[in-house]
Structure 1
Amino acid sequence: MENWKGKVAIVTGASAGIGAAISLALVKGGMKVVGFARRSERVQQLSTELADQPGKLWAFKADLTKEQDILDGKLWAFKADLTKEQDILDGIKWTTENVGPVSVLINNAGIIQKTTLHDGDTQMWKNVLDTNIMAVAIASREAIRIMNENNIDGYIININSVAGHVVIDMPILNIYSASKFALTSMTETLRFELARLKSNIRVTSLSPGGVNTEIALTNNLMTAEEMKQFEGLARPMLESEDVANAVLYLLSTPLRVQVTELTIRPIREVN
C-alpha cells in the first residue's frame, strides 16, 4: 500500500457493509477516500471511526448547490444516486477539483430487488442493471479519462460475486445474477481494451462468496422463513473485512502483475 499513500480513491456504495469496510481499510492505508453513497448518515457515522486514521474519508453528494455544504468539515457526507449518470459525472468532477485526480476506483455498489423473472417488475429490473452494470461502466470510463489526463497508472476493482460465474438457486436473485455475469464479461472486455492501448491501468473482478452483510434483509428481500430454508446461509460466511483485505492484497501487487479475477469464499461453501 506504500505506493498508494496520499492518493485518491473513490468507493461507490460506501455507506455500509463491504463498501464501508473497504473505505476504512483504504483510509488506514493512508489514502484519501471519496465515498459515493445515498445514505449519508451512515457515512457520517463511519467518520467517527476514522478520526485518528492517517487518511480522510470523504462522502460525496451530487447536488452541490449549497455553498455551506462545501465549507462544512473534513468529512463530506453527501448523497449520490448511482442510477443517475449526471450524479456520477458530477461526483468525479468534484473529486478531481476538491480532493485530487482518482488513482483507485472501487466499483462496489450493487443492489438486489425483491422481484422475479417470471412475473417481475420492469423498473426493479432496470434499477438492478443501472446500479450493477451501467454505473460501473460510467464510473470506469470517467475514472480512466482522469487517470489518462494525469498520467496515473491507476487501478479499477469491480466488486463482483460468485453469482457472476455460477447460477445459484436462491429466491431473491432474479436478474441480479445476470447483472453479475455481465460484470464478469465487462471487466474482462475492459482489460482487453486497456491492453490494446498499452495502458498500465489495471482492472480486476473481485468475486466474494457469501458475505455477512445486510443485503439479504434490506427492503425485506427475504423472510425469516426463507432465510432458514436457504441452506447456504446456515454455513460459515465471509465478513466485509475479508473483502476489504482482498482489495488491499490487489493494491499491494506490483505494476507488472495483472490479477484478472480473484474469487474468495467462506470455508466449506459449495454453491
Structure 2
Amino acid sequence: MVLSMDRWVGKVAVVTGASSGIGAAIAEALAKEGLQVAALARRKNRLEDLAQRLSNQKGEIFPIQVDVSKETDILSAFTWIKNNLGPIYILINNAGISPPSSGILDGQVDSWEMLYKVNVLGLCICTREAIKDMKENKVNGHIVHVNSVVGQQVVKLPHMNLYPSSKFAVTALAETLRLELMNQGSKIKITSVSPGLTDTEFLNSPEFKKVIKGNKILEPQNIADAVVYILSTPPHVQVQELIVRAVN
C-alpha cells in the first residue's frame, strides 16, 4: 500500500480543539503537509500564536474562535470557511472536555450538559456541516473523530464516570455514520482514533494524575502522526478504528 498525502495538498482541513495538545499537534502536522487548516478553539490567542509559529510552512493555519458547545459559533465558523477558504476536505473532531463534578453520584447537571454539548453534540454538528459541504462540492473527504481508549473500555475514573459514556457515544457515532454513508454510496470516509493516556492539559486533573503515576504516556505528536497515516491511505482504504497506546 502506497501512503501519500499528495491529494490533500492545498485542500481545506478543519480541526476543532486546536489551541493545545492533540488538536494543536494535528493542525501543525497538516500545515506541514501543505493543507489549509481552519483551526477552531475558544482561545484565539493560542491559535494565533500557533499560526505565527507555523507561518513558514507549506500550508497555513487560519485561527477561528469557536466554542463548540454553541451551534451558532459552529455555523458561523463553517460559513466563514466556505466563503474564505473553499470546500472542506477533512474534518478532525478533536475538541473534548471532562469538567469537574461529572460523576454520576455527586455530579452537577450543568457539568453533565456541558460534557455532552462538547463531546457529543458539538461533534455531531461539526460532522453534519462538514459532510453537507463535502456533498455540495462533490468532495470525497475524510472525517476523523478523536476518541479515547475509554470509549472502548470503561476504566475506574472516580468523579469522572460520565466522561467514558461520552466517548462510547463517539464510538457509536463513528460506526453509524460509516454505515449511513456506505448505504448512500458515498466515498466519504470516517475514522475513530482512540488514544491512550497522552501528555496534554487534560491530564492536569488530580484523578488523571493518580492514573498516570508510574506509567508511560503518549505525546500529542504521536496521535498527529496516526492521523497523518490515516489520511495517507489510498481512497479505497478506510481505517475504521485505530487504538494508540504507550508501551510501558
TM superposition score category, shorter chain reference: over 0.9
* 1:231-266 per-position Cα deviation (integer Å, ceiling 9, x unaligned): x34211100000000000000000111111000100
Say if 2:192 and 2:240, in contact at 8 Å, map to a contact too.
yes
- TM-superposed CA distance for 1:172, in Å, is 4.5
Is 1:118 aligned to 2:122, yes or no?
Answer: no
Q: 1:238 to 1:172 in 2, by over 3 A?
A: farther
Is 1:264 aligned to 2:239, yes or no?
Answer: no
Q: Please report the TM-score for the alignment, with normalisation by the length of structure 2.
A: 0.95
Map of 1:26-175 to 2, 5 A cutoff? 26-60=30-64, 79-115=65-101, 116-175=103-162
Say if 2:104 and 2:159, in contact at 8 Å, map to a contact too.
no
Q: 1:253 to 1:122 in 2, by over 3 A?
A: same
Say if 1:10 and 1:102, in contact at 8 Å, map to a contact too.
yes
Say if 1:27 and 1:50, in contact at 8 Å, map to a contact too.
yes
Structure 2: tracts of 5 or more residues without a match: none
- TM-superposed CA distance for 1:80, in Å, is 0.9
Letter in 2 for 1:222: P
User: How many pairs are equivalent?
Assistant: 243
Residue of structure 2 in register with 1:188 after alignment: 175
Letter in 2 for 1:111: I
Say if 1:112 and 1:172, in contact at 8 Å, map to a contact too.
no
Residue of structure 2 in register with 1:242 after alignment: 222
Q: Which has the higher contact order (CA 8 A, sep 6+)?
A: 2
SS of structure 1 residue aligned to 2:206: coil
Q: Please report the TM-score for the alignment, with normalisation by the length of structure 1.
A: 0.87
Say if 1:206 and 1:262, in contact at 8 Å, map to a contact too.
yes
Equivalent-residue separation in structure 1 for 2:86 and 2:158 (angstroms): 43
Structure 1: tracts of 5 or more residues without a match: 61-78
Equivalent-residue separation in structure 2 for 1:173 and 1:245 (angstroms): 28
Structure 1 stretches of 4+ with a deviation exceeding 4 A read none
Residue of structure 2 in register with 1:67 after alignment: none
Say if 2:17 and 2:23, in contact at 8 Å, map to a contact too.
yes
* 1:157-186 per-position Cα deviation (integer Å, ceiling 9, x unaligned): 000000001111123422110000010001
Residue of structure 2 in register with 1:253 after alignment: 233
| Percent of aligned positions that are identical | 43
Aligned alpha-carbon RMSD (Å): 1.1
Say if 2:51 and 2:63, in contact at 8 Å, map to a contact too.
no
Say if 1:102 and 1:143, in contact at 8 Å, map to a contact too.
yes
- TM-superposed CA distance for 1:85, in Å, is 0.7
Say if 1:113 and 1:172, in contact at 8 Å, map to a contact too.
no
Equivalent-residue separation in structure 2 for 1:184 and 1:100 (angstroms): 29
Bigger Rg, which one: 1
- TM-superposed CA distance for 1:44, in Å, is 1.6
Say if 1:82 and 1:135, in contact at 8 Å, map to a contact too.
yes
* 1:133-192 per-position Cα deviation (integer Å, ceiling 9, x unaligned): 001111111111100010100000000000001111123422110000010001100000
* 1:1-30 per-position Cα deviation (integer Å, ceiling 9, x unaligned): 111000000000000000000000000000
- TM-superposed CA distance for 1:47, in Å, is 2.0
Is 1:179 aligned to 2:166, yes or no?
Answer: yes
Equivalent-residue separation in structure 2 for 1:86 and 1:47 (angstroms): 24
